[in-house]
Amino acid sequence: MSDSDNGKQDERGFIRETIHEPQAKASAGKRIAAVLGLGLLFGAAGGAGFTAAGYWMRKALHITDIRESVVIPRDPVTAVDSSEAPQTPVQEELSSGEEENPDGKGDNSGPEEDEPSFVSFGKRVFSVLEYSLATVTARRDQEDLFGGIYTHNQDSFGVIIAITKEDIRILTESALLENAEKVHVSLHGGYGGEADLLGMDRTSGFAVVSLPLTELPEGAAEELAPAELGNSYLTLMGDMAVVVGRPVGHLTSMASGIISYIEEDVQDTDFNYQILHTDISGSEDAGGLLADEQGRIIGWIGSSGVEAESSLITAYSISDLKSLIEGLSNGETACKLGVHVQEVTQEMAESRDLPPGLFVTDVIPGMPALAAGIQSGDILMRIGDSEIRTVQDLQAVLVDAEPGDETTVTVSRRGRDGYGEETFAVVLEPR
């Protein structure tokens, strides 16, 4: 996220500041008390030193904090017929009324009511999601020109993606949490508390925070529900959709429309995405989640989620992000290699005599791949011992890797006598 993007956020209407009274100069007695407290300070510093040493030791040994793992099932890249897909609990609940009265007797609805109107559709989706939505507040203490301290509060949307025995994990915007000193989460029912940042992905623009259950009254978590992450590969043009979050610049707002176009295989750094285009107009700083008519999340509206020419909202396919979301939810940091790639299909391999793998269409300046010597036109075949044949293979390796890991990347490079393998040493960096 660029500095200019952060600047735009600082001008939004949902930024709040709390002015604190300037602190008075310390009296002589307070100075004496401060001197007497130096012993405690040095003791605390020693303890902090041991804590920091332990932290870096855990990082060196790849030991993370003990935390219940979140598992987000992946979706098959080849979409199946949606009519054959099993119904989820949410779908069954929403369709139960139709099953109880299959012949339509006893009601006044006609055939035209089979497809929900945009009004009832929006209400229906919100009724499913309202127990999953959150407001995430980043807090920073700053000093004004007169030495006074004020608290700078900045809000954004969030959505619960998992509830474990110890915490609630919430997906939100990464730009919000840059340099945040404290993070507060407000949930449905007025519940809330201080949260911890688990991880962020600046490329796609999302982050995951953890709200300990100890911050909530006993039993409060039972009144909440994680949102269902849908299979966006099943989404079709013409499907109705709702943006929940900040479609028009106001938090906890929503807007509805349809999926107007699905853009396949859009290349980004180390990831290829499906982009869902809508006919929903959004403000310049629009953001949020794209949901289908069953209330399932099918898209994430990132930093470039509004088309400049038309002001229409677009979203990353949620199915392409599930590996990243799972990793961040478990406190893992995905790595970057720094390439744009295109899969070598069987048809391409046969017609152009190409080896299997990922064709490198571009190498990003300042990233590990270029520094190692990888070039455009190379075909990525292996990272370490892992075979790379699809974009999903590349994503899986980079999500499982640790920043700073040194590994080998094997490519097939075209020469005078055809393609031959070359291996490069690469130090992976955090996304």
Condensed to tens digits (0 to 9), the pLDDT of residues 412-426 reads 999 988 899 999 999
Q: Which of 198, 193, 199 is nearest to 139 (CA)?
A: 193
Contacts of 253 (CB under 8 A, 6+ apart): 245, 246, 247
Rg, Å, the chain Cα set: 25
**Structure letter (DSSP) for residue 338:** -
State the residue for tokens 């070359």.
422
Task: Determine the residue type at 164.
Answer: T
| Contact assessment for residue 157 and residue 287, using Cβ atoms and an 8 Å cutoff | yes
Are residues 311 and 282 in contact, defined by beta-carbon separation less than 8 angstroms?
A: yes
Which ranges in the chain are annotated with CATH 2.40.10.10?
A: 232-315
List the structure tokens of 187. 């949930």
Q: How far is CA 10 from the centre of its chain?
A: 21
Task: Answer yes or no: are the C-beta atoms of 229 and 270 closer than 8 Å.
Answer: no
- Count CB-CB contacts under 10 A for residue 274: 20
Fold designation for 335-430: Pdz3 Domain (2.30.42)
Q: What is the pLDDT along the chain (431 residues), one digit of tens a residue?
A: 444 444 444 444 444 555 444 444 444 444 444 444 444 444 444 443 333 333 333 333 333 455 799 999 989 876 444 444 444 444 454 455 444 444 444 444 444 445 556 667 888 898 999 999 999 999 888 777 777 777 889 999 999 999 999 999 999 999 889 888 899 999 999 999 999 999 988 888 899 999 999 999 999 999 999 999 999 999 999 999 999 999 987 888 899 999 999 999 899 899 998 999 999 999 888 889 999 999 999 999 976 678 877 899 999 999 999 999 999 999 988 899 999 999 998 888 888 889 999 999 999 999 999 999 999 999 999 999 999 999 989 998 998 899 999 999 999 999 988 899 999 999 999 88
Rounded Cα distance between 9 and 285, Å, is 8
**How far is the C-alpha of 370 from the C-alpha of 354, rounded, in Å?**
22
CATH for 232-315 is 2.40.10.10
Q: What is the pLDDT of residue 119?
A: 66
The pLDDT value given to residue 220: 96
DSSP class of residue 399 equals H
For residue 345, the model assigns a pLDDT of 85
Residue intervals in the chain for CATH 2.30.42.10: 335-430
Q: Which of 344, 321, 202, 232 is nearest to 271 (CA)?
A: 321
End-to-end distance of the chain based on CA atoms, in angstroms?
11
